[in-house]
Amino acid sequence: MSRLDLQKLTLLLALVAGLLTFGNSFFAGYSSQREQLFEQTLEANRAYARKLADTTDQFFLNSRRELAYAAEVLSTRFDDPAARDSETERLKLKSEQFSRAIIVSAAGEIVSASPESTDLVGLKVNSIGATRALKERIPQTSDPYIATDGTYLIAVTHPIFAPDGRYLGFISASLFLRERNALHGLLGVHYYRDGSYLYVVDTQGRLIFHEDGKRVGQNVSSNAVVRQVLSGQEGSQRVINTLGVDMLAGFAPMQSTGWGIIAQRPTAAITAKLEQLARTTLLNAVPFTLISLAVFWWLSILISRPIRALADTAEHWGAPEAASRISMVNSWYFEVSRLKVAMLAGVSLLQQKMGALEAASMTDPLTGLRNRRGLELALKQFDLLDQRYAAVTLDIDHFKQVNDQHGHDVGDAVLRFLAEIMKECSRPTDVLCRMGGEEFLMLLPETDASGAGIAAERLLARLRQTASPTGAPVTASIGIACSDRYASSDATFKAADEALYQAKRAGRDRVVLASA
């Protein structure tokens, strides 16, 4: 598996951060919108239930007034069949509010009915509603009951009294609950087609009105909302309905009858709407997300590029061009510029140390002159530049005696002393080496035999004139050979050595030029 680099890492971090932020705000927005919608729906349903309760109350008030008027008319004409039929007819047909209108005598006999087709006239009433009306003799709106002819209804009744106070009977207008009735006109048109509906319960919690006509008559008093509205409360509540559906219900009681009106909307309808909204929001967010990703990607490249460039140079710190490669990195932000400065310092330190080590490996520790490795490097450079040189070999005379007479330390000091004299008597371009023991070699570039001879004589003269660490001057013998006369550097050195040997044999303290 490839290792994660900074660019991928920054991109990944940006992605994770972006997703978390987006997810967080998305879900926070979603939840708060849902709560808000729930509250709005609950309040709308409460207000709607209230409005319908008021409208329905008004309907029953008006109905009572109508009946009161009819009772007034009939108080003096109760015995007139035409008058009775005229009132039932008016109530049933002209108002078109009621399913049926009847007049019942004080003896409990139906004396007029509209529509006439019902053929009720002459029947004795025995239903709960009629019995109660006959007994209580007051205007009232009944709870639902099954009428004498088996119809499930509610009835608005008004007693009829003669002017002398004699009870004559009552007039009744009824709504057939299992048929289309005035309540449908008042309540039936609901505003949503998403499972929202409303229903009306009587004081016992039985359904008087429901969009599903088959449920009329069913007792739903176990419903928490029904219990509240029947206790006279108005309000709203999230509730699981009798069929197990999660609903947002608003409810209001009716003043005139004590019934309750409940308007409700399925919670799922709102959630579905919100989910649609969420999908749209997500889809709308796609282009923005893509643009953000592209920007993040571009930024991650910008941020990681200098770090990567620095990391690449780190693999080649030892290389001579490392410093210049690091310098070229575009350190456009603070951290990278700090890192770059630190790396440059590190590289320079490393190269110094490496240079020092390299120099040490080519230097004779006692004298500070080049050793054999140093000589080889110098020869390579001469070869590269095709440079000729004069090889000057030098050996201290009777050095053994120095050691013997003055001790090894003084011998060392004499070797250092000679090295200093060699440096003083040479040019910066001359290559000065200690070949081992008390043997030295000088390469004088672009110098011919006579030039080298003059330089060697000058050095010997200087030695003769200067007191060495022994307290007295030391002398040396020198052999010279010029490279242009020999096939190789080895041959040149060999020739110079032979010349030195001749100088020793000839009595030392002298210069001998190799005879090629």
Binding site for ligand GTP (CB under 6 A): 395-400, 403, 408, 411-412, 415, 437-438, 504, 508
Q: Which is nearer to ligand GTP, 279 or 400 (CB)?
A: 400
Minimum CB distance to ligand GTP smaller for 198 or for 421: 421
Least Å from the CB of residue 489 to ligand GTP = 23
Q: What torsion do the CA atoms of 278, 280, 281, 283 make, to the nearest 10 degrees? A: 120
Smallest distance from ligand GTP to CB 499, Å: 14
The set of long-range contacts for 90-93, using a CB threshold of 8 Å and a minimum separation of 24, is: 91/66, 91/67, 91/171, 91/173, 92/173
Our CB check for ligand GTP shows the closer of 149 and 412 to be: 412
Q: How far is the CB of 398 from ligand GTP (least distance, A)?
A: 5
Minimal distance, residue 400 CB to ligand GTP, in Å: 3
Instruction: Measure Cα distances from 274 to 270, 271, 277 in Å.
Output: 6, 5, 5
- Choose between 124 and 398: whose C-beta lies nearer to ligand GTP: 398
**Contact of 74 with 83, CB cutoff 8 Å:** yes
Strands 100-105 and 167-176: antiparallel
Of 145 and 417, the one with the shorter C-beta distance to ligand GTP is 417
Smallest separation (angstroms) from ligand GTP to the CB of 413: 8
Q: Which residue is nearest to ligand GTP (CB)?
A: 411
Strand-pair partners of 174: 100, 155
Residue 370 CB, nearest approach to ligand GTP (Å):
16
Burial class of residue 248 (count of CB atoms within 10 Å of its CB; 0-12, 13-18, 19+): buried
| Cβ(452)–Cβ(392) below 8 Å | yes
Q: How far is the CB of 414 from ligand GTP (least distance, A)?
A: 7
Distance CA 188, CA 182 (A): 9
Smallest separation (angstroms) from ligand GTP to the CB of 353: 28
Query: What is the closest distance, in whole angstroms, from the C-beta atom of residue 509 to ligand GTP in the complex?
Result: 10
Question: Which of 329/459 has CB closer to ligand GTP?
Answer: 459
Structure tokens at 264: 């409700």
Residue 412 parent element (H or E)? helix 408-424
CB of 504 to ligand GTP, least distance (A): 5
487's tokens: 């096939």
Residue 256 in tokens: 């005139």
Query: What distance in Å separates the CA atoms of residue 139 and residue 148, rounded to the nearest whole number?
Result: 20
Q: Is the dihedral of CA 286, 288, 290, 293 positive or negative?
A: negative
Alpha-carbon span 461 to 72, nearest angstrom: 164
Which residue from 462, 418, 420 is spatially nearest to 439, judged by alpha carbons? 418
CB of 422 to ligand GTP, least distance (A): 16
Residue from 250, 218, 355 nearest 38 by CA: 250
DSSP 444-458: EET--HHHHHHHHHH
Q: How far is CA 70 from CA 77, 116, 154, 434, in A?
A: 10, 18, 19, 147
Q: Which lies closer to ligand GTP via its Cβ, residue 389 or residue 417?
A: 417
Cβ closer to ligand GTP: 74 or 396? 396
